[in-house]
A and B are shown apart, each in its own frame.
Chain A
């Protein structure tokens, strides 16, 4: 295991060098959260489908429990139970519009992960950096549990547990636990835990800080300890169900899946679940006693329990919906935690946007009215009133406004339109609009994926390190 330990130490040093200006030492945050014994034990796996270019290169890395799809290159890295999903990468010849430029993609895009440690992290989407359209790079970076690196080339950074960086090129930054950043380009920033920041320079800017004391009940991360809190407890509680599906080779479907829908073989589907047409259920999603209407989706690390989704619902990576009724076209952002209770159900009206990293955890019934934007920490009606606004009213804002811990500046209409366009794009990409001929998306393309497994050296100096592997068509 000598090589693996050396690799681990080397990556930490590289990240610390990058973060020296922020005076941030990642060592106590990563040292005790990576289970070395499991790095030796778990296999990695990759998907084969005719719809995505197959091209994997793995060098001098540990890939325990991780999943790969599309074009991925990993070198000198440790990826533990991470999903590297390259099914939205750009194709050669595609033209990307950026500012006043029409940029032609010169070759198929690939995800390049180098000198990084990713723990239970999701990597998805494609590089939005106009300077690096063919390479979605993640280098000199460490991410903790359930972080999302979504369309965000990243260098020299640290992401805390359940942190998300979305459509943002990031250099030398620290993203605190449960913080969400979508800001185009950032460098040398230390983002506080529980920050939710969406910025389109010159157009609009949304910023919210979760109240730290209340947030610490849900997620808390400090040096020399595992991430703690209700969100971590919730995920841990459902872990056993996943162990079962990773140990079995042939999974017998427990529910009926329409021909135009897709339930990943590595998703957990417990009884009393109904899958509608054009539904997409990604790997590591957990469904129990839920009703997914036409075109709804459940992305990686989602949990949907005792809930009903009427249709065309986006449940983004890591979002959790429990004891809730969601109207049509409701968007629930990354890592949100919507937690009703039996007898105190949560209702979210149609066409609502629940911002990424929102916590709604209630003891009495609560309804988010249709067509509203909701964000932040909501435990009761008063919180909801402080942390929501109708999309119609937000669209009228053209200077600034603040409400509770939230500050907004710029064009409300542009903010709402950008969200709506993105939600439409997600539904389209996921195949929600498939009519039997046109608009195929992930729900239709990901139906028949074959999976192969790969394993590391079982002992010796190279124990835990995967041999150099090239997998090509």
Chain B
């Protein structure tokens, strides 16, 4: 465990779900499904899709939350309701107003899904921030610190400034858990 490096735990980018820029939300979700089927590394499923530019560089990441956000109606009133949190209103009141607005609009979920699949991934992806990159030779304890402090679910692993893989929080957690188990077995 002490000698683990990022490269030992990362998922190679070739095994991860990726789509080119300009893809629709549906294409991205289909890519995630496909990657899930083909990924046999461990029991933990992928939870995001990477968006690549034409030079195969990662320009964004689409999480499951981002994909669900695409279902949100693009309603000016709802946007205003969402802004209420900055004015100190409670989450309970905001949810109540959102629900009442949705009921008033009455758009069924199937219709929201039908509209959302045609949307472009660029409109919902999150561009990686500086703290989300980690070199493949970095030791695992440093990477853990980076995951925890940055509150990230995954880090983009680089080699010679090129992204070569993904270090997922689930894989790191599993490795740590196994190490704990081994310690426990030794001491008992």
Contact = CB atoms under 8 A, between A and B. Distances in A.
Interface in A102-135: none
Interface in B58-91: 80, 84, 86-90
Contacts of A407: 84, 89, 93, 97
B97 A205 contact: no
B86 A207 contact: no
A209 B76 CA distance: 13
A205 B93 CA distance: 11
A328 B89 CA distance: 34
B80 A205 contact: no
A25 interface: no
B88 A400 contact: no
A442 interface: no
B96 A207 contact: no
Nearest to A197: B87
A86 B28 CA distance: 63
Interface core residue of B80, B88, B89, B90 (most chain A CB under 10 Å): B88
Contacts of B87: 183, 197, 199, 205, 207
Given A400-B96, A402-B97, A409 B90 contact: yes
Contact of B93 (A197, A209, A409): A409
Nearest to A195: B87
B80 A209 contact: yes
Contacts of B88: 183, 199, 201, 205
A398 to B, nearest CB: 13
Contacts of B89: 205, 207, 407, 409
Interface string A196-211: 0101010001010100
A54 interface: no
A207 B93 contact: no
A414 interface: no
Contacts of A197: 87
A201 B88 CA distance: 8
Contacts of B80: 209
A429 interface: no
A189 interface: yes
Contacts of B97: 402, 407
A199 B93 CA distance: 15
B174 to A, nearest CB: 39
Contacts of A409: 89-90, 93
Contacts of A207: 84, 87, 89
Interface core residue of B80, B84, B87 (most chain A CB under 10 Å): B87
A209 B80 CA distance: 10
B93 A400 contact: yes
A189 B88 CA distance: 12
B95 to A, nearest CB: 11
A197 B88 CA distance: 10
A199 B84 CA distance: 12
A404 to B, nearest CB: 12
Interface in A191-237: 197, 199, 201, 205, 207, 209
A244 B182 CA distance: 91
B104 to A, nearest CB: 12
Interface in A402-418: 402, 407, 409
Nearest to A206: B87
Interface core residue of B80, B84, B89, B96 (most chain A CB under 10 Å): B89
Contact of A189 (B84, B86, B90): B86
A354 B80 CA distance: 24
Interface of A: 183, 189, 197, 199, 201, 205, 207, 209, 400, 402, 407, 409
Interface of B: 80, 84, 86-90, 93, 96-97
17 contacts: A183-B87, A183-B88, A189-B86, A197-B87, A199-B87, A199-B88, A201-B88, A205-B87, A205-B89, A207-B87, A207-B89, A400-B93, A407-B84, A407-B89, A407-B93, A409-B90, A409-B93
The 5 closest A-B pairs by CB, nearest first: A400-B93, A409-B93, A207-B87, A199-B88, A409-B89
